[in-house]
Amino acid sequence: MRTCVCACVCLYSSWQRDTEEYST
């Protein structure tokens, strides 16, 4: 379960970063 959480966080972080770059 811990691995799933880490993967979710990594995915969310990557998605948020892409959104910020696109917004700029």
The whole-angstrom separation of Cα 10 and Cα 24 is 21
pTM of the complete model: 0.44
What DSSP designation does 1 have?
A: -
pLDDT tens-digit series, residues 1-23:
678 888 888 889 888 888 777 76
pLDDT of res. 24: 66
The whole-angstrom separation of Cα 24 and Cα 3 is 32
